[in-house]
Each structure stands twice: as C-alpha cells, then as structure tokens.
Amino acid sequence: MPRRTASRLSSTLVLALASGMTATVAYAQQGEDPMNGETLLPVKKVTLYRSGVGAFERQGLVEGSKDVALRFETDQINDILKSMVLLDLDGGRVSAVGYGSQEPLERRLASFAIDLSGNPSVVSLLRQLRGASVTIETTDKAVNGVVLSTEERRVKDDAGADAGTEEFVTVMTDAGSIVSTRMSDVRSFRLRDEVLQEELTRALMALGESRADRTKSVELRFEGEPGRGRRIVVAYVTEMPVWKTSYRLVLDEGEDDPTVFGYAIVENTTDHDWDSVTLSLASGRPVSFTMDLYQPLFATRPNVPVPFLAGVAPRLYESAFNRAPSRASGGVSNGRAPASEAANDDAYLGGFEGEVVASFQTLDRLSEYLPSAQASAGFAGEQFMYTVDGPVTIERQRSAMLPILSSTIDGRRVSIYSPSVNPANPMRGVEITNDSGLHLMPGPIAVYDAGAYAGDAQIPHTSRNQTRLLSYSVDLPVRCKTDADVDSNVVSIRVNNGLLEQRNKNVRTTTYTIENGDDRKGRTLLIEHPRNQGWTLVSGGEPEELSNAYRFEMELDTGQTKELEVKEEYVFLNRYELVSYDEAQLRLYIRQGVASQAVLDAFRKAGNFSQRIASGEKRMSDINAALQEIDRDQRRLRDNIKTVREGSDLYSRYVEKLTDQEDRIEALNTELEAVTIEVRDLREERRVYLSNLNVN
C-alpha cells in the first residue's frame, strides 16, 4: 500500500471508548496494508428506523494490533463521524480513527497561482496573468509577449457610430511594442511559463478529482497482544430509505374476526451485500440530523493593525458546561404474532408427487395459505420493534418484502357515511381493534372479501388496542339523503350593567334518510355528522365524539329505510346600548314573553335621562349660536362707529346698542353656565344609574 500522504493524515477522530485509552493517534507503519473491513468486519446486524436512518453493526475477530479499513460514500462520512462507536470486547484497546481530510474545493483552487474558483472567464484568467509570458492567437496573427492589462473600451462600428463596450487585452511584445487586441478576435492563448502551466494543470486536476472522489476510506486501529484473538464491534448510523409496510386484510364469510397480514418493504441501497444479517425494524422516529463534520472549517479572522501605543489584553470567555447523556440499555422482548400454520402443513402437499394439479380453489381459502409471520416483536427501550426471526440476505442495490405480521384481529363489517365525502352513498368498511399485541405501522391495506379483491384502504399508525375505521369501496346498494334546516329566535332580553343583552338561539335540524337496497344483507351504518365549534348536540342519540365529528350508529335490515334526526343549537349574545334599542320591538318581545316589563321600565327611565340631556345640549347649542350672532353684530357696529362723528345721534345709537348687547351676552353666559352644570349632573346621574342597573 502506498504511504499515507499528509492530507490523509491531517484529520483524525479519537473515540475514547476503551478503558485507559490514550489520545495518541495510531497509524499503520509504512508499507503495512490495512485489512479489508468488508471481509474482516461483515455487517451482522441492521436496524432500520422510520426517520430515514439505519443503525449498522459489524462484528469480527482480530489478533494483535490491526488496521482495518472501511470504505464509505463521501456523503456518509458526516454521519460516520457523528455516530461511530468502536468496541474491543476482550481486553484490547481502541486507538484512533484516521480518514482523509476534505479541504473545501474553493479553498484548494484559491491556493494555486491561477485561481479557478468561481468559474472564471477568459478575461478573468488573463487578468490573473498580468506579467506572465503568453502567446495569443488571433484570427490573423500570433502575438508573443507579456500581459500588461485587460480593460473595457468604447468602440465604434464601421459607420463611426457608438457600438458599446468591448474587452481588450494589452500585451508588451518581445520586440518591446505595446499591442492591444480585441477579446472577440482572440482564438486561443498559451502560457510560455512552465511553472504557471503546471499550476493551471494541477488546478484542473483538483476539479476533476472532486467530481470523481465518490468514496472515502476510514481506517480503524485496534491494539492488543500478538497471538490472542479478540472480538471487535463497529457500530454506526447512516442515512437509509424509510422502511415501509403493506398489509392484506382478509374477510371471510361466516368468520367473526378478519385476518391481517403485514409485510415490511426493505431496501438495501448500500454498496455491500447484507449476508445473513439480523434485521430489526423500529417503529420509532428518533431525532436525526446532519452536520458537516468532515469538511475542515476555517474561521474568518480579522486583519488587526499592529498595536502602537498600548498592547491589547486578551479577553476571557465564560466556559460552557456540557452534560454527558445518560446511557440506557434494554433488550427486545418478543411479543405475540399469531399466525395460521395451514400454509406449512404437509397435508396440503399430499398427492402432488411432482405433478401440477389441474385446478385450484384460487383465493377462497386465502387466510390459510398466506405466509406466516417471520418476525418477533417487542419493545426496545421506548420503541416498538420487529426483529426478523431468521438471518436475512439482501444483495446490494436490491429490495425485499418480508412477512412480519400474521394475526386474527378484532373487527366487524360496517358502512361509513360521511356527507362531505360522498353525499349519495356510504363506504364499505371495517372497524378493527388492534388486539394483535403489535403496533401497526402506517401503510396501504389490500382488502380481500370472500376470496375476491374488494378494494384498498389506508391505515395510520395504530398502537395496541387502538380502534380504527378502514373504508375500501363505495357501498352502492345503500342510498343516503341529507336535509338541513336552521331556525333562529330570541330567547331572552335582560339588562346587564346598563347594557341590553339579547340572547339568541339558532337550532339546526339535520335529517339523514338511509335506504338499504341490498335484499341479501343488512348493514351496520356509521354516520359521521360534522361537529362545529360552539354548537351543542341536543338530540339524536349518544354518539362517539370525535375531534371534528359525531359518529352515530344505525342498524339497517335488508330493504329497510330509516331516518336519523340530529338537532344542535347555538346560543349567542348581542349587546346594545340600552337607549339605542327600538321600543316597539321591545314591547313586542314583552308580549311574546321574551322580555319583562321591568326591562321596559328601565329602558324608559334611561330614555328619560337621555331626553333631558338632549334637551339641555340643545339649549347649550342655541345659547352658543346666539352668542356667535351677537359677536358678529358687535364687530359690524364697531366697524361702523369708526366712520361716524362722535356725539352724533347715530354714534349714540351705536353705543346704546352695544351696551344692550353686552347685557345680553352677560345674561346668556350665566344661562349657559347653569345649563352646562345641569347637563353634566344629568350625565353623571345617568352613568351611576346604568352602571348598577341589572334587570331580568
């Protein structure tokens, strides 16, 4: 094996899982070839989760000190660094894990003399080559020289008009002249500097390597005494497809309970075979995320000027405390997975003797012939888990469907009517209670009824003893009709804290008419009635209460028609200012018994306050209008008095009128003050009256 390069040894992960382990990084000696981990440490256990990850466990034997190499796709390295656990079970020591560093491509490209990061244009490349010796080939000549600059210039067309801008490259030729060439005329250029040419070649090779570098080697070091075999375990978590479930539900004529068969759909998308592995399928969805631990992280550092007058003291930062997670262990207990043994009974094979039987009973005895479950079930910690009973082999990039469940299950045939889904017909369905002792994962269910395919259903996650409804086809013989009517009326009127409260009630009556047109079988019908917020059920029976519906049950004989009347009511309040209500409407409600005479009396008394206040406000408005009119007339008199001779009859007349108006103003102001006080007192009196007013 070639010597490790410095870049491959630049990053290590130290896993201190063995007692007394040192932090020394251990590597293979020069010329020592790490053993192939795929052979030495085959995959022995796989656990798949529904959160899109899989836990892998590799096991093997080593002697002495060994380097073991495992190869992973580059995309998996972050998961490996985040989750890998190494165990040496027989007294050996786990050393460091070595892996090739992945320096960011942009940073690698930027390190070359010619920076190819950012997909530079030809002009950008020539700009980087200022001072370099080049040969530029144009349409009609070759220019040898040193690149001076690149620039944009305004150009003109053949008619001398402005044609916009164009890029030019300027070169000082070997003869010493300065030549500028349009970039549009440049067909190619060549570096005459061998060092720069080599740098450009290396940068292009780095780009090619980044695309071809699909897998990485992770090298594990186990140290121990020579000649002594030891058991080692390597465990890790990496991204995997979510395992899926698919079910078959068999309904047999005359049988009390249906039979459910479950299959797990598993995909091996890795690059190695799973050969006789222990396969477990967990129902849980553990929190899982990705973090870029593989790519080196370079912090941006500020460019700080050299201190001149005084030194800069270092800053102390508060330490962060990390609490190590507690470790819990738990085994997988075997839950029951009852299955029919008819499929394995040798009696069903009697008489074949290598010949093909001419006729079969197709699917009439489907529940007897479907495969039995090949998985045990139980809890591992807080998660329910299926573990396939025997070893499982799935080749790489292949998938498998494994039977994990075979059990009778408590259930009954029903028809389910949801007006919002199909207003004309209910759906044929089954109500099942999961008494299998197992958890049922979400998935599709193919329903077979009396040996014939009946339809598809879908089941959500169903824990033990949970009840679910499954619908699989339209029940065409049963016809449904829905009629709804809403009646609104006022229930009562009262005064509460000075506000008139009108209590209203809406009564909605929904009538379901169901006709069973099947002359062979009756029906157990479940009617799902919408449940709206604020409405209260007052008649119709005692249904199951769901989050958004009531579920009523009805038995229908053959050819029978039945009705179900469901009444709901919705009570709400409207509040009004007492004096704003209509008195005629209030008197009508008194005659109907909705409101009392005391409410009407309170209404009239409050109205009396309002009338007196309105009268006072009207008087205040009239006084203010009179004062404004006098003010306008006084301005006119004062303007006129300036134009007449003092002592004349007209002058005396103006003075006399002004004097009378001043007396009138004084009287109006006195009256305005009195009316204002009266209105203020009336408002306060009304406020006190209404604030304590409660009348039924």
What is the DSSP code string of 644-677? S-TTSHHHHHHHHHHHHHHHHHHHHHHHHHHHHH
Q: pLDDT class for 674, splitting at 50, 70, 90?
A: very high
Q: pLDDT class for 583, splitting at 50, 70, 90?
A: confident
* Mean pLDDT score across all residues of the chain: 78
556, HSE (Cβ side, Cα atoms, 13 Å) = 34
Instruction: Give pLDDT tens digits for 513-533.
Output: 999 999 899 999 999 999 888
What local confidence, expressed as pLDDT, does residue 436 receive?
86
Q: pLDDT class for 289, splitting at 50, 70, 90?
A: confident
CA atoms of 593 and 662, how far apart (whole Å): 60
Q: Does the pLDDT at position 508 exceed 90?
A: yes
Higher-confidence position of 215 and 326: 215
What local confidence, expressed as pLDDT, does residue 350 receive?
33
Angle formed at CA 337 by CA 332 and CA 338, multiple of 5 degrees: 155
DSSP 595: S
Higher-confidence position of 71 and 335: 71
Q: pLDDT class for 541, splitting at 50, 70, 90?
A: confident
Domains by residue range for the chain, with CATH? 1-115+198-239 (no CATH), 133-192 (2.30.30), 241-277+329-412+426-466 (no CATH), 477-592 (2.60.40), 597-695 (1.10.287)
Q: pLDDT class for 93, splitting at 50, 70, 90?
A: confident
Q: If you search the block for the tokens 């009859």, which residue do you land on?
A: 649
620 in Cβ contact with 679 (< 8 Å): yes
What local confidence, expressed as pLDDT, does residue 609 receive?
85
Phi/psi for 468 (5° steps) reads: -135, 150
What local confidence, expressed as pLDDT, does residue 518 receive?
92
255, HSE (Cβ side, Cα atoms, 13 Å) = 19
The structure tokens listed for 236 are 């890790």
DSSP 416: E
58 in Cβ contact with 233 (< 8 Å): yes
Q: pLDDT class for 104, splitting at 50, 70, 90?
A: low
Q: Does the pLDDT at position 209 exceed 50?
A: yes
CA atoms of 557 and 512, how far apart (whole Å): 16
What local confidence, expressed as pLDDT, does residue 26 receive?
33
Q: pTM for this structure?
A: 0.59
* Span 219-248, average pLDDT: 88
Angle formed at CA 618 by CA 614 and CA 619, multiple of 5 degrees: 120
Q: pLDDT class for 333, splitting at 50, 70, 90?
A: very low
Phi/psi for 15 (5° steps) reads: -110, 105
508 in Cβ contact with 539 (< 8 Å): no
Q: Does the pLDDT at position 616 exceed 50?
A: yes
Q: Does the pLDDT at position 113 exceed 80?
A: no
The structure tokens listed for 401 are 């469907």
Q: pLDDT class for 474, splitting at 50, 70, 90?
A: very high
Largest CA distance in the chain: 153
CA atoms of 597 and 603, how far apart (whole Å): 10
Residues in the chain: 696
What local confidence, expressed as pLDDT, does residue 479 receive?
95
What local confidence, expressed as pLDDT, does residue 316 receive?
31
Residues in Cβ contact with 674 at an 8 Å cutoff, skipping those fewer than 6 apart: none
The amino acid at residue 121 is S
**HEC string of 467-530?**
EEEEEEEECCCEEEEEEEEEEEEEEEEEEECCEEEEEEEEEEEEEEEEEECCCCCCEEEEEEEE
CA atoms of 386 and 279, how far apart (whole Å): 8
Q: SS3 for 568?
A: strand
CA atoms of 70 and 222, how far apart (whole Å): 13
Q: Does the pLDDT at position 21 exceed 50?
A: no
Q: Does the pLDDT at position 174 exceed 60?
A: yes
Q: Does the pLDDT at position 258 exceed 80?
A: yes
Strand partners, 145: 134, 173
Higher-confidence position of 651 and 527: 527
Percent of the chain with pLDDT over 90: 22
CA atoms of 243 and 50, how far apart (whole Å): 6
* Span 595-601, average pLDDT: 88
Residues in Cβ contact with 219 at an 8 Å cutoff, skipping those fewer than 6 apart: 27, 28, 34, 67, 68, 69, 70, 97, 98, 99
Q: pLDDT class for 11, splitting at 50, 70, 90?
A: very low
CA atoms of 679 and 619, how far apart (whole Å): 10
Strand partners, 400: 266
Q: pLDDT class for 623, splitting at 50, 70, 90?
A: very high
What local confidence, expressed as pLDDT, does residue 103 receive?
60
Q: Kindly give the interhelix angle for 583-591 and 597-641, rounded to the nearest 10 degrees.
A: 170
The structure tokens listed for 178 are 């300065």
Angle formed at CA 621 by CA 620 and CA 627, multiple of 5 degrees: 90
What local confidence, expressed as pLDDT, does residue 381 receive?
61
Instruction: Give pLDDT tens digits for 53-89.
Output: 999 999 999 888 888 888 888 788 888 888 889 998 8
Q: pLDDT class for 195, splitting at 50, 70, 90?
A: confident
167 in Cβ contact with 126 (< 8 Å): no
546, HSE (Cβ side, Cα atoms, 13 Å) = 14
Positions of E strands within 334-466: 375-380, 383-388, 392-394, 398-408, 410-417, 427-433, 443-449, 452-459
Q: Does the pLDDT at position 33 exceed 80?
A: no
Residues in Cβ contact with 66 at an 8 Å cutoff, skipping those fewer than 6 apart: 34, 35, 40, 221, 222
Instruction: Give pLDDT tens digits for 545-578.
Output: 888 889 999 999 999 999 999 999 999 998 888 8
Q: pLDDT class for 100, splitting at 50, 70, 90?
A: low
414 in Cβ contact with 426 (< 8 Å): no
362, HSE (Cβ side, Cα atoms, 13 Å) = 7
Instruction: Report how far Cα 540 is from the mean position of its chain's Cα atoms.
Output: 39
